[in-house]
Each structure stands twice: as structure tokens, then as C-alpha cells.
Amino acid sequence: MIFIKNLKSVSDQEWSTTEKYPGVRWKFLIDADFTGSSGLSLGFAEIAPGGDLILHYHSPAEIYVVTGGVGTLNKSGKLEEVKKGDVVYIAGNAKHALKNTGKETLEFYWIFPTDRFSEVKYLY
């Protein structure tokens, strides 16, 4: 199985949101629940200016690929600026948060070494 996805190809998929993360919305592009894939999963997220993906952690490692905007990454308490063109590595169980501190939408892909997002347990 090999396939190509982009935001246009998932235009029929509604954006997901939660009250926990103000200003954040996301879609699933590579995910066993949507595409029958396995071994890796990927989603695309947008954080509006001022929006905050609050401090959380989970057992699998995670990668962010930042494709737009600028924000502040909380690395278990230490803050660092993150921007378009950066990639972020987050070890399993490391607490992290991401806030949009710019004027444009902060855009990024997240990747897990899991079949699906829904199997990743978010802890706070």
C-alpha cells in the first residue's frame, strides 16, 4: 500500500477540535482509522494566533514538522521558539506544549510510530 494525501484530498473530513486546546484544529491524513495504513500515523494541525496546545505527554515518541508560522515550544518547562522549517523531536512521556505567539496560523504535521492517533493516550 502506497498513497499520497494532502489537505485538499481530505476536504470531506471535518476538522477535529477540543475545548482543552483553544484555537487548535486538526485532520488525519495517514491513520489506520481513515486510510487502513499501519506502522506510522500522521496528522496536520493548525493553531490560530494565541491558540495553545497545552502541556501534555504520551507514551510514544512524536515528531512535529512545522510548515508555517511561529510559536513557543514548551520543552518540559523550558521554552524555545519554533518556526516554519523546524522539526521537533519529543521523546515518549516527555511533557510538551505548543503555543502560537505569532500573527499567522502555526501549521505543522505530527507523526507517531503508531497505526492510529486514537491509540495514543493523552495525559496531563
CB nearer to a second copy: give 19 or 58.
58
Q: How far apart are CA 42 and CA 61, in angstroms?
A: 13
| Least distance (Å) between residue 97 CB and a second copy | 10
Q: Residue numbers of the site for a second copy (CB under 8 A)?
A: 1-7, 29-30, 35, 37-40, 42, 60-63, 65, 67, 73, 75-76, 80, 82, 85-92, 94, 96, 109, 111-113
Burial of 36 (0-12, 13-18, 19+ CB in 10 A): exposed
CB nearer to a second copy: give 50 or 92.
92
| Least distance (Å) between residue 21 CB and a second copy | 18
Asked whether the beta carbons of 59 and 87 are under 8 A apart, the reply is: no
- Number of CB atoms found within 10 A of residue 95's CB: 15
| Least distance (Å) between residue 35 CB and a second copy | 7
CB nearer to a second copy: give 19 or 96.
96
Residue 27 CA neighbour count, 13 Å, CB half: 14
